[in-house]
Amino acid sequence: MPNNSNTSFTNRVALITGASRGIGKAIALELGTHGAMVVGTATTQAGAEQIERYLSIAGIRGMGIAMDVTDPAQITSGIKAVQQSLGGIAILVNNAGITRDNLLVRMKEEEWDTIMQTNLKAVYLLSRAVLRDMMKEKNGRIINITSVVGATGNAGQTNYAAAKAGMIGFSKSLAKEIGSRNITVNCIAPGFIDTDMTRALSSEQQQALTQQIPLGRLGTPQDIAAAVAFLASPAADYITGTTLHVNGGLYMG
Amino acid sequence: MEITEIEQRIKKIVAEQLGVKEDEIKNESSFVNDLGADSLDTVELVMALEEEFECEIPDEHAEKINTVQEAIDYVSASTSQ
């Protein structure tokens, strides 16, 4: 287990939303392996149990909680439970995200609103909920998982790209607001990562995509988790308000 | 709780939070105009008051606490209930 001074999260509590699978799970395991106490959220109780299972197999202290990240009451009670059993949250990773792709001319309001709620409003609600503890500690890390399409745009994803670009503006503003309290706010923008979300693409689509990636492959959840661990670590003390692109060269910001 | 005790405890918190000397803090001092607080300082000050006096100050009240005296008034009213 790596345990040098650059990656020491011992006894710090990290909250990762959308942690039952994919990128969120990789982030939870990565931070936990570096010594953090890990809290993963999932939308269902079954998802929360899944999180508890993989944390316990990996020997990581932490918990899984069922939480609808668009519901302020559930966020408040979930965070209270974490504070009572593990302590104040020092690292927040807003990872939960969904897609409702459609051409704009056919996009229903429900498809637009759902994406804004889950991908953008949740970031506001969760950040607000953890800020007091971070301000008291004069220390904290907020890491928002955005997307390359927030920077490049993508046909069929006006809603998703708008929410992801919104996260970047949010992060820059909050970084300015609370920088004086030693709290950093950054984004990580994954490119095309091999998860359930990208597996929904046809193999022709996947092939065409891979041809545009200088490093010649889709990314892995681990590629993103390593970048999160870096931004959460003391090595990134002086980095705030930035977006770190992790995309194999697909887009160079 | 005696008003003088509340006053002393509040001035001590204000001094700690804003990094000013206690004897520079008057009851009529405005946190922002006289004591150099920015908007985030005033939020933290309210958080510190909540902790010190074990009470919850709703945002709509917090916005009205701009001076030391207003803090004293709020705390003495809410702790006498």
- The sign of the dihedral angle between the CA atoms of A179, A183, A225, A92 is negative
Residue A3, pLDDT > 60, answer no
Fill in the DSSP letter of residue A238. T
Q: How many beta-carbon pairs under 8 angstroms link A with B?
A: 10
Q: Is there a contact between A177 and B40 if contact means CB atoms under 8 Å apart?
A: yes
- Return the CATH class of domain A13-246: alpha beta
Looking at beta carbons, which residues of chain A come within 8 Å of B44? 135
Q: Is there a contact between B47 and A132 if contact means CB atoms under 8 Å apart?
A: yes
Among chain B residues, the shortest Cα distance to A174 is held by B40
Fill in the DSSP letter of residue A219. B
The answer for B 38-67 residues in CB contact with A (under 8 A) is 40, 43-44, 47
Q: How confident is the model at residue A9 (pLDDT cuts 50, 70, 90)?
A: confident
Residue A4, pLDDT > 70, answer no
- Rounded to whole angstroms, what are the CA distances from A131 to A88, A124, A177, A243? 10, 11, 11, 20
How is chain B split into domains, by residue range?
A: 3-79
**Best residue of A76, A131, A132, A137 to probe chain B, by most B CBs closer than 10 Å:** A132
- The sign of the dihedral angle between the CA atoms of B69, B51, B47, A139 is positive
**Which amino acid is located at B12 in the chain?**
K
Concatenated DSSP letters of A167-214? HHHHHHHHHHHHGGGTEEEEEEEE-SBSSHHHHTS-HHHHHHHHHT-T
Among chain A residues, the shortest Cα distance to B43 is held by A132
Percent of chain A with pLDDT over 90: 89
pLDDT at A50: 98
- Helix, strand, coil % over all residues of chain A, rounded to 5: 50, 15, 30
Instruction: For residue A181, give how far its alpha carbon lies from the nearest alpha carbon of chain B (Å).
Output: 9
Token match 């890990």: residue?
A38
pLDDT digits (tens, 9 = 90+) for B29-79: 999 999 999 999 999 999 999 999 999 999 999 999 999 999 999 999 988
Residue A197, pLDDT > 80, answer no
How is chain A split into domains, by residue range?
A: 13-246
Q: Is there a contact between B40 and A178 if contact means CB atoms under 8 Å apart?
A: yes
pLDDT (mean) for A92-99? 97
Q: How confident is the model at residue A195 (pLDDT cuts 50, 70, 90)?
A: confident
Task: Determine which one of B38, B41, B59, B73 is catalytic.
Answer: B38
pLDDT at B81: 63
**Best residue of B18, B40, B51 to probe chain A, by most A CBs closer than 10 Å:** B40
pLDDT (mean) for A75-97? 97
What is the average pLDDT score of chain A? 94
pLDDT (mean) for A102-123? 98
Residue A54 is a catalytic residue: no
pLDDT (mean) for A222-246? 97
Residue A1, pLDDT > 50, answer no
Among chain B residues, the shortest Cα distance to A176 is held by B40
Homologous superfamily (CATH) of B3-79 is ACP-like (1.10.1200.10)
Looking at beta carbons, which residues of chain B come within 8 Å of A178? 40
pLDDT at B3: 82
Which of A164, A170, A185 minimizes the C-alpha distance to A96? A164
Looking at beta carbons, which residues of chain A come within 8 Å of B43? 135
Which two tokens mark A214? 């200088």
pLDDT digits (tens, 9 = 90+) for A136-188: 999 999 999 999 999 999 999 999 999 999 999 999 999 999 999 999 999 99
Which of A240, A237, A235 minimizes the C-alpha distance to A4? A235
Among chain B residues, the shortest Cα distance to A180 is held by B40
Instruction: For residue B67, give how far its alpha carbon lies from the nearest alpha carbon of chain A (Å).
Output: 22
